[in-house]
Structure formats: structure tokens, C-alpha cells
């Protein structure tokens, strides 16, 4: 049986269309640890804010979070009197309707804040396999700037 050239091209196009996932995202390398957002981004101690993390690209890039830690930090020129403040330690809920999203609301702690730049850091702990196949955990992170008044 011989196929015409146009039939062969149509058949190949159909095969590639089925083999290509329709939900593939364009993901920057920096998104491998998640994408974090904070709302609002200007805060005073005691004010409530929402932190949201999206791990869609992380999953696509092979990072499957075990633990998710959120901190407030001074990223540069920290004088040693500004230790990281842990906002939350969380895990993803695989039975959730949105298993690759994490969101929570919290209050900005009444800590000593200085006239400095601050960020909310998302640290993602995830497993990798060692050279002998045994798993161990590594941490990668992303940050978003906030203003503390």
C-alpha cells in the first residue's frame, strides 16, 4: 500500500500532535523552585498579607517539593541583627483541587525592622537521587521584594 505525500504528511502531523502535551508551559530556569507572590507588598507590623506559590513550572522541570519554607530576610548588607523570620513551613496537598499551588494568609510579625530592603523568600526542599540511587534532599529558592514601613 502506498500513501500519497500529503497523506503521509497529515499522518505524521497527527502523530506529533498527539505526542506533544497541550499543557506544556514555557518555564524560565529560575521558576524551577516555584513562583512566589505577596499581596500587598507594602506592610506594617501586624498587618495581614497573602503569600501564594505556584509550582507548575517546578513540576514540569522535575522539582517535586517535599517542604516549602517562607521567610522574610534582608538579602544584602545584613548586619547580623536581622535574622531570617520564618513565616510558615508547609507541604503541598496532592489531594487538593490545585495540587501545585500553595497559598496562606498571615500577619507580619512585630519584629525589629530596620530601614532596609526586605524580601519574602520561598525555599523549596526537594529530593534528588545520589550517584548510587539513594535519595537526598536539596534546597533552592526564589524571592520577591516587599516594603516594611
* pLDDT per 10-residue tile (average), the chain, 149 residues: 44 40 72 96 97 95 94 87 93 87 97 92 96 96 96
pLDDT at 24 (0 to 100): 62
pLDDT at 2 (0 to 100): 52
C-alpha 90/C-alpha 65 separation (Å) is 10
Grid coordinates given for 49: 498579607
pLDDT at 82 (0 to 100): 86
What single DSSP character describes residue 6? H
> Which residues have a Cβ under 8 Å from the Cβ of 139 and sit 6 or more positions away?
123, 124, 125, 126
The whole-model pTM stands at 0.80
- Closest by CA to 84, choosing from 138, 121, 34, 49, is 121
Amino acid at each position: 500500500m502506498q500513501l500519497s505525500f500529503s497523506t503521509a504528511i497529515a499522518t505524521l502531523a497527527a502523530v506529533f500532535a498527539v505526542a506533544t502535551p497541550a499543557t506544556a508551559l514555557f518555564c524560565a530556569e529560575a521558576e524551577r523552585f516555584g513562583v512566589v507572590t505577596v499581596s500587598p507588598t507594602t506592610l506594617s507590623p501586624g498587618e495581614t498579607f497573602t503569600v501564594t506559590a505556584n509550582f507548575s513550572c517546578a513540576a514540569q522541570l522535575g522539582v517535586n517539593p517535599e517542604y516549602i519554607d517562607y521567610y522574610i530576610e534582608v538579602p544584602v548588607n545584613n548586619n547580623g541583627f536581622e535574622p531570617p523570620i520564618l513565616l510558615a513551613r508547609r507541604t503541598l496537598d496532592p489531594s487538593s483541587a490545585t495540587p501545585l499551588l500553595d497559598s496562606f494568609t498571615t500577619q507580619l510579625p512585630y519584629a525589629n525592622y530596620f530601614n532596609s530592603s526586605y524580601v519574602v523568600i520561598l525555599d523549596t526542599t526537594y529530593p534528588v537521587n545520589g550517584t548510587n540511587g539513594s535519595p537526598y534532599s536539596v534546597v533552592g529558592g526564589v524571592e520577591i521584594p516587599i516594603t516594611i514601613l
